[in-house]
Amino acid sequence: MKFDFLSSTFVRFGSGVLETTGQEACEIGRNALLVTGRSSAKKSGSLKKVEELLKRENLEIVLFDQVEQNPSVETVEAGAGVAREAGCDLVVALGGGSPLDAAKGIAVLAAQGGSLEDYIGVDKVEQALPLVAIPTTAGTGSEVTKYAIITDWKTKQKRTVASPLLCPRTAIVDPLLTVTMPKQITANTGMDALSHAIEGYLSLKSQPITDLLAIESIWTVAKYLPRAVGQPEDLEARERVMYASLLAGLVINQTRTGMIHGLGYELTLNYQVPHGLANTLLMPQVMEFNRISCPEKTIQIARALGENVESLSTREAGRRAAFAVRELAVDLGMPENAAKVGLKLEDIKGIAQSFIQTKRSFGVTPRYPDINEVETIYLKSFRGEI
């Protein structure tokens, strides 16, 4: 047995831990750039709360609240400009995956200068401001990962900066922050966590520790996400889903994400489909495609999703995994095919080609697809077939 396991983030988890934000931040820096999105942290009151907590410890705060969904290169560069001008020595990120990822890009550019393009790829970062990450959704796992996913709208591409220096110094993971999340966002982000756990479990870079974390994450999402969607104030369900999301983040930090993400990005870039929903619409089809390369693990996923597979053939037991994911999504009220989110039959050839050109996930996906197989996966997703 041989593996690497990197986790350099101090995680503080639990309902109410937000209260410690000021103490945690002031151990790291004195002058914080507070990065958040344009509205939800304001509406929920969490932004005001975090500002108060930081001020209580006498931190200087400069607010950058311009992060949009699928944050752009331009936004990251603008945020870095603000941080440099104010002489910030710390970045505090509050929000969903978009503000957290943007904050990571900002932390790099603020410390090193240059343009984001200089750091696209793996291990090109030499310096970054320390980051305190406070997620307000339960799904991205960005609070413990070394990735920043930034969108280049000029070339219609998702660009990734990957470096251990991007791992937040501290993650304040407080499930109380997720109670105000609308139903749809709860479902989309929770299914994103499930896609991380499943892709990580099937990744060629999976290893014993990530396998344990992934299976724990999969069954936890399957059990508690319907409760969190059905009853927003069910705090036990909120805690469990956030825990599952955290675990899945630790998984992909080692294993990377796979073809579900690679194919899903094309739906997001072309039809503005929210990330978690895009993944959900491709997850059953990609799992079924991968099944022949990892039949035993696919059966374990079916079991973790609550399927009784004991009397079934290997093939049938494996197939249950993909169907269980579909049934979970339908239970959560999500659309059952990609046509409903804007995918057009005549676009499939083009987006399949675009995915193949990115070569995204090719180092980790258990089964390599050719262009025809990618088109078939999109077509099945379009029709709602598995």
Nearest distance from residue 261's CB to Fe ion, in Å? 6
Nearest distance from residue 275's CB to Fe ion, in Å? 6
In the bound state with Fe ion, the residue whose beta carbon lies nearer, of 17 and 138, is 138
Site string for Fe ion, 47-76 (x = CB under 5 A): ------------------------------
Site string for Fe ion, 133-172 (x = CB under 5 A): ----------------------------------------
How many residues form the binding site for Fe ion (CB under 5 A)?
Answer: 1
Q: Which of residues 323-342 bind Fe ion (CB under 5 A)?
A: none
In the bound state with Fe ion, the residue whose beta carbon lies nearer, of 29 and 258, is 258
22 neighbors 50 (Cβ within 8 angstroms): no
Residue nearest to Fe ion (CB): 192
In the bound state with Fe ion, the residue whose beta carbon lies nearer, of 70 and 298, is 70
In the bound state with Fe ion, the residue whose beta carbon lies nearer, of 257 and 298, is 257
Q: 222 — phi, psi (to 5°)? A: -60, -35
Nearest distance from residue 113's CB to Fe ion, in Å? 29
Token readout for 327 is 């049934």
Q: 125 — phi, psi (to 5°)? A: -95, 135
Q: How far apart are CA 84 and CA 86, in angstroms?
A: 5
301 neighbors 216 (Cβ within 8 angstroms): no
Nearest distance from residue 264's CB to Fe ion, in Å? 8
Question: Whose CA is closest to 187, among 218, 220, 223, 228?
Answer: 228
In the bound state with Fe ion, the residue whose beta carbon lies nearer, of 143 and 192, is 192
Q: How far apart are CA 184 and CA 67, in angstroms?
A: 20
Q: Which residues pair with 170 in a beta bridge?
A: 10, 132
The structure tokens 């059905």 sit at: 230
In the bound state with Fe ion, the residue whose beta carbon lies nearer, of 174 and 192, is 192
Q: Which of residues 168-227 bind Fe ion (CB under 5 A)?
A: 192
151 neighbors 159 (Cβ within 8 angstroms): yes
Q: How far apart are CA 386 and CA 379, in angstroms?
A: 10
Give the number of residues written for the chain: 386
List residues binding Fe ion (CB under 5 A).
Answer: 192
